[in-house]
C-alpha cells in the first residue's frame, strides 16, 4: 500500500517546526543486487539520511546528547539492517531503513537515499530516494 499523499503545506510545516539532522555519503559495504556480478561479494553503497525532528525533541537545555536524536542511532539502524544479509533492490533497503528510522519517537519525517557508485562507468552513481512523514 503506498504511503498517504502529503501536500506542500505538510512539507512547509516540517521546515518551520523541525530541525533537519543529516548523514551524508555514509559509506558502507553491502551485499546487494540482482545481477550475478553483484552477488559475488559486497559492494560500496552511499547512504544519505535526513531526519526532520521537531524543535522540542532537538533543542537541548543542558547541552546533553540525551536531549536530541543521536547520529549513532542512524548508523546503528543502518548497520543492523545490512547485517541481515543480501538485499536484491535498493528500493527494499530504502523502505526498510526509512520505516525503522521513522519509528523513533523524536523523528517526524525521513528522507533517505542509497547510491551505488560502482555499477556503471559512465555515471557517478545510481540510486533511489524515499521521503516519509508520520
| pLDDT of residue 8 exceeding 90 | no
Q: Would you state the pLDDT for residue 12?
A: 81
Q: Would you state the pLDDT for residue 3?
A: 58
Q: Is 50 helix (H, G, I), strand (E, B) or coil?
A: strand
Query: Dihedral, CA atoms, 119, 28, 22, 49, nearest 10 degrees?
Result: 60
Verdict on whether the full-model pTM lies above 0.85 = yes
Rounded distance between C-alpha atoms, residue 131 and residue 3, angstroms: 10
CATH architecture, domain defined by 8-133: 2-Layer Sandwich (3.30)
What are the tens digits of pLDDT across the range 74-129? Answer: 999 999 999 999 999 999 999 999 999 999 999 999 999 999 999 899 999 999 99
Q: Which one, of 86, 87, 108, lies nearest residue 98 by Cα?
A: 108
Say if CB 45 and CB 115 are below 8 A apart.
yes
Amino acid at each position: 500500500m503506498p504511503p498517504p499523499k502529503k501536500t506542500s503545506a505538510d512539507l512547509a510545516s516540517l521546515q518551520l517546526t523541525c530541525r533537519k539532522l543529516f548523514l551524508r555519503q555514509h559509506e558502507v559495504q553491502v551485499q546487494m543486487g540482482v545481477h550475478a556480478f553483484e552477488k559475488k561479494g559486497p559492494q560500496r553503497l552511499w547512504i544519505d539520511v535526513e531526519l526532520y525532528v521537531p524543535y522540542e525533541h532537538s533543542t537541548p537545555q543542558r547541552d546533553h546528547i540525551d536531549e536530541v536524536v543521536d547520529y549513532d542511532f542512524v548508523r546503528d539502524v543502518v548497520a543492523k539492517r545490512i547485517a541481515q544479509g543480501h538485499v536484491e533492490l535498493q528500493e527494499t533497503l530504502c523502505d526498510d531503513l526509512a520505516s525503522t528510522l521513522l519509528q523513533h519517537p523524536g523523528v517526524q519525517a525521513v528522507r533517505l537515499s542509497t547510491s551505488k557508485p560502482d555499477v556503471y562507468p559512465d555515471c557517478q552513481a545510481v540510486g533511489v530516494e524515499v521521503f516519509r512523514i508520520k
